[in-house]
A and B are shown apart, each in its own frame.
Chain A
């Protein structure tokens, strides 16, 4: 028995990420209920919207089927719902003492957030794959092929980071499962409807077009839709210097990266300060 006197304790940053990732992945696999439930709403939207609005909307879409138009929005919705459940996991950790146990260990707190987010990324990729496959079965076409499908999953992952961070901040602030669920769900549908998710922006009221410009959903949906259609789909920002779908992808991804960095930083700060925030 001896007191350590070295400079480095515990594992490396990478091993802390891996340790956290493994724990959350085991929990996901052991409790597939969350994975299934968070798929239900987007799949219902996909089936109902294509059946109810398909006929009307397709005529306004100039050669694109509503299935093809809608699938990018649904995969973003999948990422949004999955990210919303991230905070619930953190609240459970706070309630069962694992959050405090992690904070009192020498694990790197940034690595803890990154590892947990990575586990959620894997879940999101699985869910997006399921929805994309279902969309193709229903008649959607991915103009950019298999590479495009992979890119869509990647965009969904990038998109999910800001809402995952937001959901985790909610969890740390409220420390209550119900408040975290309500807080995250409260934003989901309004954000989806005041964006380019379900209909082209020019077909929506002017105020919605204005709000959509500041809505992260618009950038996520426009980016996935650009890959789906293989063309420039963005209407909130006019970019022409990159050509084709890159005129959408470059600005949309730039916005999503900035959002991820901003919200991620706030989440890491909130998690790091969670225990001692109440002390003067």
Chain B
């Protein structure tokens, strides 16, 4: 058993059209870890995951998966990983059982073990009752669960899950989270990319955030939240259209400590600052003096959504769909959102170890 399930050093992937999808990424994922890989759409998440599972060859750098070099020993890598792609990948013309049988045969699961393994996986993803029904008739959630099961037939020590719950309703999503947690509890290393930060927060031991092909933050969910700096003050305005003016008022008054971020939202504005709680009432007074009506406010601890916004300057697609806001664009000290998020403990970008690798 190797110490690291994934060792990626200075990995770059450049497409034939010149697009640098991944640029100098260093990544270490420990065996048995539940690792989350976050980033906005187009940040390079899927390109990196495809490189790790040998679907793409890195243009530069080295990739070792389960102790095997992904370029020199791709067959060994393929045999020891499970991969659940972003789009559901099952044969709709086959039954659930036939899909699993195909996966078993593809990974060389012995005939003696095959029947029991299929039954076990059908039970795990709760598809036993429909095992002999054609997958085309399944709901989206059932297809995803079947897809997840096919990635596990050979008991891989490492599983890649590329946005596995995208498009599922909350109940189906929760169900899949349980399965992923269960296989991780059994010792499987899990590499997860997701748009749902609640998912990452609940499941992952450690996270990396990628933007424009580079890792820009790394740590446990709690560490990352602490790095946001202070607390979050959400202000709901009577006229949301005045959010830009409210942000200008908050900036002009220099109400908050250096490093604070002030961003407009669909309903008003959000302030991230060490003194958000103590200076919140001053902001409300300033807004009143500027004839901007306030209908509600809330002070809370940062979530991963706030981390993501601070680090990337963007809301995740999922958060935006839930009523999120525009890109972060305003920081009181004139720096950018990413810098502001990391200045609390003096860090910028990923937190490298002595050997320069995010861990």
What residues make up the interface of A, taking CB atoms closer than 8 Å to B?
A: 1-4, 9-11, 15-16, 18-19, 22-23, 26-27, 30-31, 93, 96-98, 100-107, 275-280
Contacts and interface: CB of A to CB of B under 8 A. Distances in A.
Given A10-B106, A97-B89, A104 B59 contact: no
B59 A106 contact: no
A105 B87 CA distance: 17
Interface in B134-180: 134, 150, 155, 157
Contact of B16 (A4, A104, A105, A280): A280
B90 A9 contact: no
A276 to B, nearest CB: 5
Nearest to B13: A279
B140 to A, nearest CB: 13
Contacts of A97: 85, 87-90
Q: Which residue among B2, B14, B78, B108 has the maximum number of chain A CB atoms within 10 Å of its CB?
A: B108
B355 interface: no
A276 B93 contact: no
A106 B108 CA distance: 9
Interface in B75-98: 75-76, 78-81, 83, 85, 87-94, 98
B88 A106 contact: no
Contacts of B85: 97, 100-101
B157 A1 contact: yes
A50 to B, nearest CB: 36
Contact of B93 (A26, A101, A279): A26
Given A1-B187, A9-B79, A100 B93 contact: no
B22 to A, nearest CB: 10
B182 to A, nearest CB: 13
A31 B136 CA distance: 13
Contacts of A18: 105
B263 interface: no
A66 B72 CA distance: 59
A3 B89 contact: no
Contacts of B102: 19, 22-23
A102 B89 CA distance: 10
Contact of B79 (A4, A27, A279, A280): A4
A96 B83 CA distance: 15
A64 to B, nearest CB: 44
A2 B102 CA distance: 22
A23 B94 contact: yes
Nearest to B104: A19
Interface stretch (B49-57, B277-285, B293-301, B336-344): B49-57
Nearest to B79: A9
A275 B80 contact: no
B55 A275 contact: yes
A104 B1 contact: no
Nearest to B110: A11
Given A1-B186, A9-B79, A106-B78, A96 B89 contact: yes
Nearest to A5: B67
B80 A105 contact: no
Given A10-B106, A15-B108, 8 more contacts: A10-B79, A11-B108, A15-B105, A22-B105, A97-B89, A101-B83, A105-B107, A278-B16
Nearest to B32: A1
Nearest to B60: A280
A274 to B, nearest CB: 9
Q: Which residue among A27, A93, A96 has the maximum number of chain B CB atoms within 10 Å of its CB?
A: A96
A15 B110 CA distance: 11
A16 to B, nearest CB: 8
B14 A280 contact: yes
B225 to A, nearest CB: 31
A104 B55 contact: yes
B133 to A, nearest CB: 12
A26 B105 CA distance: 15
A103 B55 contact: yes
A104 B91 contact: no
A243 B24 CA distance: 68
Interface in B100-115: 102-103, 105-108
A275 B56 contact: yes
B1 A26 contact: no
B303 interface: no
A103 to B, nearest CB: 6
Contacts of A107: 106
A11 B79 CA distance: 10
Contacts of A105: 78, 103, 106-107
Contacts of A279: 13-16, 56-57, 59
Interface string B39-61: 00000000000100111110100
A275 B57 CA distance: 9
Contact of A30 (B14, B54, B87, B93): B93
Contact of B83 (A98, A104, A277, A280): A104
B107 A104 contact: no
A19 B91 contact: no
B51 to A, nearest CB: 9
Q: Which residue among A11, A275, A280 has the maximum number of chain B CB atoms within 10 Å of its CB?
A: A280
